[in-house]
Amino acid sequence: MTTSAAVPTGPEDAIAGDGAVTDRLVEANQQYAAAFSDPGMDAHPVLHVAVVACMDARLDLHAALGLELGDCHTIRNAGGVVTDDVIRSLTISQRALGTRSVVLIHHTNCGLESLTEDFRHELEMEVGQRPAWAVESFRDVEQDVRQSMQRVRTSPFLLHTGDVRGFVFDVRTGLLREVDPA
């Protein structure tokens, strides 16, 4: 991609890492705050649910699940994978903030499907340091949801592991498909 860097091609160039996109977000926040009134809620999610999902930009969790402000905890990372850090958040969510249900959402066409664990090796070659974390790439999205459900269910830190359900969100139709845990 050496040629495209020299030739400005479109609106992307205006928001390419020079802080302009952040300025746009800050401006949008000022409008949001102008219309905002204190909902008077505490930090306990109203629906007592924590949703663990991929960070994918095409997945609008609140809209897709009919969620309102204050309804749930949302814990997101690349893949929606249940890592130690997700367990950390779920543990705090359940033990300090009263959630009891866990919903896991992966999705079709995930960026992690095109990566392999070679990513770590290539990173090490480039920067001279091996990352402590696994890439957690996968080929079979349903199997990855099953593994994530299993990691939640078997965690010794969680109080509530009886209501753990996993889904694949279709980025083309907007529909969730539930994954059989078996």
Q: Is 145 a binder of Zn ion (CB under 5 A)?
A: no
Spell out, one character per residue from 59 to 98, where the chain touches Zn ion: x when CB under 5 A holds, - when not. ----------------------------------------
State which residue, 111 or 131, has the beta carbon closest to Zn ion: 111
Which of residues 53, 75, 110, 149 is near Zn ion by CB under 5 A?
Answer: 110
Any known ligand binding at 72?
A: no
Structure tokens, 82: 């249940």
Element (H, E) at 166: strand 164-169
Helix, strand, or coil here: 77? strand
Any known ligand binding at 85?
A: no
Structure tokens, 59: 């997945």
Span of 41-49, 103-111, 115-123, 138-146 interacting with Zn ion by CB under 5 A = 103-111
Min separation Cβ 113 and Zn ion, Å: 8
d(CA 124, CA 127): 5
Q: Is 168 a binder of Zn ion (CB under 5 A)?
A: no
Q: N- to C-terminal Cα distance for the chain?
A: 45
Structure tokens, 86: 């997700």
Which of residues 50, 52, 54, 65 is near Zn ion by CB under 5 A?
Answer: 54
Neighbour-count burial for 33-51, b at 16+ CB within 10 Å, e otherwise: eeeeeeeeeeeebebbbbb
Residues annotated within a binding site: 54, 56, 107, 110
Residues annotated within a binding site for Zn(2+): 54, 56, 107, 110
Q: Which residues of this protein are in contact with Zn ion, per CB under 5 A? A: 54, 56, 110
